[in-house]
Amino acid sequence: MTEHLPVSEISRPVAVLDRAGLARAVALAAMAADRKSAIPILSNLRLRGYGGALEVIGTDCDLEISVMVEGPADARLDLTVPAHMLKDILTKAKDSALASLDDASNDDVFRCGVDLGGVKFKLNAIPATDFPVLDPVSYGHSFHLDAETVNDLLGKTSFAISTEETRYYLNGIHLHSLDRLGVFRAVSTDGHRLAMMEIPAPEGSLGMPGVILPRRAVGLLIDAIKLLGKGKETLPMVRVEIASDRARFTIGGFTLTSKLVDGSFPDYERVVPRSGDMANIDVKEAKDAISQISLISGNPKGQTVKFSFARDRLVLSCRDDDNGTSEAVVPCGSAATLEIGFAARYLIDILAEISAGHVFMWLTDSGSPAVFTDPCDPRFKAVLMPKRF
């Protein structure tokens, strides 16, 4: 067999594909495969021919990524191979324009042949009949968003997702429409901080049930958009489909399908202050000051930072019982005159999402949450609970 032979002239099932396209598809699908699973087939990718394209699928039973690669691929080709082994081979082996895959199984031994311009591999395979498939569901709501908007909705709110498994209903991003306002929101919280992104409701989203997209699906979708966009000026629109227990995101030939968190997201609007005095703070100076004064503690990220507001002046300070105190002054335009404490690492996380050079901080009193808004992106809002100092 050579990589230039037509598929019709090969006796066993074979696919001859653009290597770069196949490598990208494998890298994307491999993100869903469970490398540490005790079930071997969950560490594999399914390779399925459709005549004019090959489908590459990875899954962990709760989440599935499917990528279509155009090119001649015998419809009889259907087997599974180790995900990260195939990924490494396509990334590191001899450079070639094409990659040939074929079913090299015989008797009871399942193999997948990989030919990269004369460098050949035979990988142990598992029958595709054992590969788990997500049950089909009916998607009641469907709408389109551009990839940049999806990336912003998820990327700017993912930092506040809870990692406490006992509070499973906070282990994701709450996607929902507010019909009365005509907006679509992504919200996350871990009980200490809250992040929110809001956009005009796209056609088809109004009336959809509120759902919670799991943390892993959020991370993989953000990573996939980054990989899909590499070397491209624009990406196709993202088709978002929502069912009662499932969400599906399709970008061209890429599809991510995920089960949803089975739980009710809390009534987050109750904790968002409706008014307060505004302070205008330089983001870089605040981040630098927080990072530096937190060094007084043996655990800088766990340090509490005290904010002391006066007109046109903000004093940031830390205290450590073993090491002493630290202080820095940051220029600030402020109508607030109060003292309030916050966790240093939570402050840094919020400031990292501000695209402007300064941030608006809204304050009510020392015991109430503070609200952070971005002057350059009114879609974003963060809420942070105070700490004793």
pLDDT tens-digit readout, 98-138: 999 999 988 778 899 999 988 999 999 999 999 999 998 99
User: Which of the residue ranges 46-50, 170-174, 294-298, 314-318 would you say has the lowest mean pLDDT?
Assistant: 294-298
User: Which of the residue ranges 228-237, 284-293, 369-378 would you say has the lowest mean pLDDT?
Assistant: 228-237
Amino acid at the residue 185: R
Contacts of 191 (CB under 8 A, 6+ apart): 162, 167, 170, 385
203/284 same-domain check: no
Contact between residue 247 and residue 212 where contact means Cβ atoms under 8 Å apart: no
316/369 same-domain check: yes
How does residue 282 score in pLDDT terms, banded at 50, 70 and 90? very high
Of 289, 302, 295, the closest CA to residue 351 belongs to 289
How does residue 275 score in pLDDT terms, banded at 50, 70 and 90? confident
CA distance 279 to 223: 35
Q: Write the CATH number for 224.
A: 3.10.150.10
What pLDDT was estimated at residue 12? 84
255/369 same-domain check: no
pLDDT (mean) for 273-281:
91
Amino acid at the residue 114: V
156/227 same-domain check: yes
Residue 136 domain-assigned?
no
170/72 same-domain check: no
- 316-350 CB burial, b ≥16 within 10 A, e <16: bbbbbeeeeebebebebebebeeebbbbbbbbbbb
- End position of a domain, from candidates 221, 236, 269: 269
Both tokens assigned to 112: 């997948």
Residue 219 domain-assigned?
yes
CA distance 383 to 160: 10
Of 217, 209, 171, the closest CA to residue 190 belongs to 171
Percentage of the chain beyond pLDDT 90 is: 84
What pLDDT was estimated at residue 7? 47
What pLDDT was estimated at residue 274? 86
Quote the pTM value: 0.92
Domain hosting residue 314, numbered range: 272-384
Say yes or no to pLDDT of 2 above 60: no
Say yes or no to pLDDT of 355 above 80: yes
Residue 82 domain-assigned?
yes
Of 189, 227, 174, 181, the closest CA to residue 65 belongs to 227
Per-residue pLDDT reduced to its tens digit, 69-102: 999 999 999 999 999 999 999 999 989 999 999 9
Say yes or no to pLDDT of 55 above 60: yes
pLDDT (mean) for 345-362:
96
Both tokens assigned to 118: 């004369």
Q: Which residues pair with 256 in a beta bridge?
A: 65, 249
pLDDT (mean) for 266-272:
93
Say yes or no to pLDDT of 3 above 90: no
- End position of a domain, from candidates 216, 251, 269: 269
What pLDDT was estimated at residue 4? 47
- What is the pLDDT of the chain when averaged over all its residues? 93
What pLDDT was estimated at residue 81? 96
Say yes or no to pLDDT of 302 above 90: no
Residue 1 domain-assigned?
no
- End position of a domain, from candidates 130, 153, 177: 130
CA distance 174 to 196: 9
Say yes or no to pLDDT of 262 above 80: yes
How does residue 10 score in pLDDT terms, banded at 50, 70 and 90? low
Residue 2 domain-assigned?
no
150/221 same-domain check: yes
11/115 same-domain check: yes
What pLDDT was estimated at residue 312? 80
16/58 same-domain check: yes
Say yes or no to pLDDT of 283 above 70: yes
Per-residue pLDDT reduced to its tens digit, 373-382: 999 999 999 9
Residue 389 domain-assigned?
no
CA distance 168 to 76: 42
Residue 360 domain-assigned?
yes
pLDDT (mean) for 302-324:
91
Residue 15 domain-assigned?
yes
- What total number of domains does the chain contain? 3
260/305 same-domain check: no
261/190 same-domain check: yes
260/278 same-domain check: no
234/276 same-domain check: no
Contact between residue 194 and residue 372 where contact means Cβ atoms under 8 Å apart: no
